[in-house]
Amino acid sequence: MTTVNVSDRPAHDLKADVLVLATVDTDGKAALAAGHGLPRGAATHVAAQLAALHATGAAEEVLTIAAVPGVAAARVVLTGLGKASARTTAFDHEVLRRGAGAASRSLKNATRIVVALPTTGAESVAAVAEGAALGAYRYAGVRGPSAQPTKGVTTVTVATSDARVKAVKAAATRAGILADAKAYARDLVNTPPNQLFPQSFADSVKARNAAATAKVTIKVLDEKALEKGGFGGIVGVGQGSVNPPRMVTLTWNPPRAKASVALVGKGITFDSGGLNLKPAASMLGMKSDMAGAAAVAATVFAAAELGLPVKVTGYLCLAENMPSGTAQRPSDVVTMRNGTTVEILDTDAEGRMVLGDGICLAGEAKPDAIVDIATLTGAQMVALGARVAGIMANEDTFRDRVGTAAASAGESAWPMPLPTDLRSQLDSSVADLAHKGERWGGMLTAGLFLREFVTEGTPWAHVDIAGPSYNEGSPWGYTPKGGTGFGVGTLLALVEGYAG
Ligand code: BES
Ligand code: MN
Ligand code: ZN
């Protein structure tokens, strides 16, 4: 865990391994950005280094210089914020997050860092703190006994003249909790699927709860309880695997809660496609098919740690989608938790089946709103690419509310429609519902399918994170390779919005 704090002492006087400063791109040449607070001699030294290195100050440019006279830290890391003037003090929060993140991501052998980027109050301090803490994330991996454990960043100090302002201190604390929550979600996604299966996922959330100061209530339904409870969607998807399915509920229920929000996460710990087996290349990366459930679990813990006055219930719909003699078949008809029957057409469309049951269960508690989050369709990536999530909802105002939460968190998402014209694609001749539509608009018909399980009158949104939950490419900003933790920021901001 990374500790985040703030200090109003001069950044160059603070004891640390690294001092992070920002540069800006002024006509193709890097200049120190505002807010560095360096004494003149140090600033001149850094400026000369920037010129000698032909630095540009472009976003993602990160340079390290050592032994700057007048700076206590042995290393100074300069991170580009892109085009701006050397006097600019107000930057877009996501620019600050990425700049701070690119810097901390570049670090080796640093445990204490001080970050002195241009800030203008609590929200920008939060962005710098979040970026720095998120960029410091490393997945430890599964290593043998001879591996050397790597020492990562443990303390991030954000330099700001507002360090004594209550809102600024609170922002730093929140940034630490958020970064820690995202790190948990990333770890879950990165864990190999032979180690993370439904029961071990349940064990992981129990262990995290046991170690936490603010406890949540955890309930686990095993395969027998799921069968008895009529969760035909989850049971059907999970029945092909030797690792049986689970439904895990995590509840943060503070006294005098102002509202209640239900979060439902797709938790397919491995999606082979089932009998409709995926081709080899598409199967790689499918350990990340539980990223929605990971984001939900991490958010409930973060809400508890922040002591938010909102009831938050997370529903983790956990199953492993495997082919075998006991696996679900195309043409099977299963009965979902609310009694709706569904004709299975393609066992690879498993996410909507586990989510359908999860949305039913969430609705039974009559929450003020339901959000489901899922690596649901390849069509999401076709439509929006690998970095932008799709948001669908049964009410435009609620869809926009989720979109605003995403924007504030620096998680790119875009509104998508649920065209009623496409609903007839889900008609079946043998059951109440067919479980997929045509190829075109596959993200939208998946959303329309889920909508069938939402109780009338409850605001509901569906966030498809197939692309942004898992980074197959190079790291960028504060986003590592592999699990990204996408969704935690959106869900937490949404829940906070209900706190008033
Ligand atoms: N988990 C996949 C969706 C996915 C694809 C996530 C690529 C991340 C990257 C999902 O279960 C799936 O297989 N969806 C099918 C649905 C189809 C069979 C209707 C798809 O998108 O092809
Ligand atoms: Mn699938
Ligand atoms: Zn899937």
Contact 290 CB / ligand 1 (< 6 Å)? no
460 touches 261 (CB < 8 A): no
- What is the residue-averaged pLDDT of the chain? 98
Pocket test for ligand 1, best of 276, 288, 377 (most atoms within 8 A of CB): 377
On whether both 406 and 371 belong to a single domain, the answer is yes
On whether both 233 and 362 belong to a single domain, the answer is yes
Number of domain units in the chain: 2
On whether both 29 and 168 belong to a single domain, the answer is yes
| pLDDT for the residue numbered 8 | 97
Q: For residue 346, which atom of ligand 1 is closest to its CA?
A: 18
Handedness of CA 346, 464, 489, 127 (dihedral sign): positive
Nearest CA to ligand 1 atom 7: 378
| Gap between the Cα atoms of 19 and 36, Å rounded | 10
| pLDDT for the residue numbered 150 | 80
Cα of 285 vs centre of ligand 1, distance in Å, is 11
Nearest CA to ligand 1 atom 6: 466
Enclosing domain of residue 149: 3-180
On whether both 395 and 432 belong to a single domain, the answer is yes
151 pLDDT more than 90: no
483 touches 294 (CB < 8 A): yes
Contact 287 CB / ligand 1 (< 6 Å)? no
Query: Which of 149 and 385 is assigned the larger pLDDT?
Result: 385
254 pLDDT more than 90: yes
Ligand nearest to the CA of 389: 1
Ligand nearest to the CA of 379: 1
Q: Which residues are tagged catalytic?
A: 278, 352
Q: For residue 350, which atom of ligand 1 is closest to its CA?
A: 11
Ligand nearest to the CA of 469: 1
Cα of 348 vs centre of ligand 3, distance in Å, is 7
Structural domain includes residue 321: yes
Q: Which CATH number belongs to the domain containing residue 130 in this structure?
A: 3.40.220.10
Residue linked to tokens 């081709």: 279
Cα of 271 vs centre of ligand 3, distance in Å, is 5
Contact 467 CB / ligand 1 (< 6 Å)? no
On whether both 66 and 139 belong to a single domain, the answer is yes
Structural domain includes residue 186: no
Contact 464 CB / ligand 1 (< 6 Å)? no
On whether both 150 and 207 belong to a single domain, the answer is no
Cα of 133 vs centre of ligand 3, distance in Å, is 30
349 pLDDT more than 90: yes
Cα of 273 vs centre of ligand 2, distance in Å, is 5
| pLDDT for the residue numbered 126 | 98
Residue linked to tokens 């864990």: 191
Given 156, 180, 204, the domain boundary residue is 180
113 touches 18 (CB < 8 A): yes
DSSP state of 251: E
Contact 350 CB / ligand 1 (< 6 Å)? yes
Structural domain includes residue 188: no
Average pLDDT, integer, range 272-285: 98
Look up residue 196 and give its two tokens.
């993370």
Given 180, 214, 229, the domain boundary residue is 180
68 touches 108 (CB < 8 A): no
Cα of 316 vs centre of ligand 2, distance in Å, is 17
On whether both 304 and 357 belong to a single domain, the answer is yes
Nearest CA to ligand 1 atom 14: 377
On whether both 420 and 387 belong to a single domain, the answer is yes
Structural domain includes residue 191: no
Contact 19 CB / ligand 1 (< 6 Å)? no
Residues comprising the binding site? 266, 271, 289, 348, 350
| pLDDT for the residue numbered 149 | 81
On whether both 403 and 451 belong to a single domain, the answer is yes
Q: Which CATH number belongs to the domain containing residue 289 in this structure?
A: 3.40.630.10
pLDDT, tens digit, 9 for 90 and up, residues 476-491:
999 999 999 999 999 9
- pLDDT-derived band at 500 (thresholds 50, 70, 90) equals confident
Structural domain includes residue 417: yes
Structural domain includes residue 410: yes
Contact 101 CB / ligand 1 (< 6 Å)? no
148 pLDDT more than 90: no
pLDDT, tens digit, 9 for 90 and up, residues 230-246:
999 999 999 999 999 99
Structural domain includes residue 28: yes
On whether both 159 and 257 belong to a single domain, the answer is no
Q: For residue 378, which atom of ligand 1 is closest to its CA?
A: 21
463 touches 373 (CB < 8 A): yes
Contact 433 CB / ligand 1 (< 6 Å)? no
- Provide the 3-class DSSP secondary structure of residue 396: helix
| pLDDT for the residue numbered 460 | 99
| pLDDT for the residue numbered 378 | 98
Element (H, E) at 96: helix 93-105
> What is the reported pTM?
0.98
Q: What is the 3-state secondary structure (H, E, C) of 210-250?
A: HHCCCCCEEEEECHHHHHHCCCHHHHHHHCCCCCCCEEEEE
Cα of 475 vs centre of ligand 1, distance in Å, is 23
| pLDDT for the residue numbered 355 | 99
On whether both 166 and 200 belong to a single domain, the answer is no
Structural domain includes residue 153: yes
Contact 436 CB / ligand 1 (< 6 Å)? yes
Residues comprising the binding site for Mn(2+)? 266, 271, 289, 348, 350
On whether both 212 and 301 belong to a single domain, the answer is yes
Given 139, 155, 180, the domain boundary residue is 180
